[in-house]
Amino acid sequence: MTTGCICPKQWTGPNCNETACVHGQLADQKNKSVNSNINRYCQCNAGWTGERCEKRLTKKCSSRGTLINSTCVCNQFYAGESCRLVAKCNNGDHLNGLCTCHKGWTGDFCDKIICQQNGTLNVAANNTVCVCHPQYTGQFCDSCFFNNTAPYPECQELFLPTSTTHIGHHALDFLRKKVFLSLSVAVILIGIIMIFIVALMCVFFGLTKRQARIARQAEIDQREEVRMQLKAKKAEDD
């Protein structure tokens, strides 16, 4: 005659009051007041969960956290079971654990500025400042730098009128700089050409003087040869 309890598969122990762990070990109940009839609970092995450790843990952490002992430990400012939620928004609205960024901002925390017209991010300013191309300005490089230009986004320089009364100061400064640069380039080119011409003239005069010196020496040598021949002939006649 059997005197012990015949327990259902999910229970074990002499009185069938201990959980039968499938992939884990029984551990002492931390808070017995939760259920006074259960003395111990299942402490699951890594990769398993459930009351009896009968469910394989398929949860994966996002790239914003690390799985440690079947639990996702989130990086700073991330939260949630799989670390997919964010805990702050710099330039946006926080809704259901995610950021809805304001116009001109992006990133998980809306902390990266979007620069228009091929503007570049200032890394030293934590990607919150745009470095704009010369013809653009504004927080997002979304405005024309000069006044006398076509509307954004073209921002191309327009033909200047005869009177400069209504031309913006920026446009005048730009024109002055452009003229000065053109004149500087022209002066440099003229200087290079003059140096080249002087060098050619020096080479030419040097070659001319050398040829004249060679011709004079040849003439002297010829005269000396004629004189020697006449002298020799006179000696024979005597």
Q: Which two tokens stand for residue 220?
A: 């002297």
Beta pairing class for 18-19 and 11-12: antiparallel
Kindly state whether residue 165 falls inside one of the protein's structural domains: yes
Residues of the chain with pLDDT > 70, as a percent, come to 83
Residues of the chain with pLDDT > 90, as a percent, come to 28
Picking from 41, 58, 75, the residue at the C-terminal end of a domain is: 58
CA 90 to chain centre: 21
Tell me how far apart the alpha carbons of residues 160 and 172 are, in angstroms, rounded to a whole number: 10
- Examine the pLDDT at 68 and tell me if it is beyond 70: yes
Kindly state whether residue 199 falls inside one of the protein's structural domains: no
- Examine the pLDDT at 37 and tell me if it is beyond 50: no
31: CATH: 2.10.25
Tell me how far apart the alpha carbons of residues 120 and 210 are, in angstroms, rounded to a whole number: 63
pTM of this structure? 0.42
Picking from 36, 58, 80, the residue at the C-terminal end of a domain is: 58
Give me the domain span that covers residue 2: 1-58
Kindly state whether residue 226 falls inside one of the protein's structural domains: no
Kindly state whether residue 132 falls inside one of the protein's structural domains: yes
Kindly state whether residue 81 falls inside one of the protein's structural domains: no
Q: What is the pLDDT of residues 113-146, one digit of tens each?
A: 999 988 999 888 888 999 999 889 999 999 998 8
Beta pairing class for 120-121 and 112-113: unpaired
Kindly state whether residue 161 falls inside one of the protein's structural domains: yes
Rounded average pLDDT over 201-209: 91
Query: Is pLDDT larger for residue 82 or for residue 12?
Result: 82
- Give DSSP secondary structure letters for 188-206: HHHHHHHHHHHHHHHHHHH
Cross-strand bridge partners of residue 49 = 55
Q: Residue 113: what are its φ and ψ, rounded to 5°?
A: -80, 145
Report the first-to-last Cα separation within the chain, whole angstroms: 174
Lowest mean pLDDT among 12-16, 162-166, 231-235: 162-166
Tell me how far apart the alpha carbons of residues 132 and 111 are, in angstroms, rounded to a whole number: 18
Task: Give the number of domains in the chain.
Answer: 2
Picking from 176, 198, 224, the residue at the C-terminal end of a domain is: 176
Kindly state whether residue 206 falls inside one of the protein's structural domains: no
Q: What is the pLDDT of residue 32?
A: 44
Cβ atoms 126, 107 nearer than 8 A: no
Kindly state whether residue 145 falls inside one of the protein's structural domains: yes
- Examine the pLDDT at 58 and tell me if it is beyond 70: no
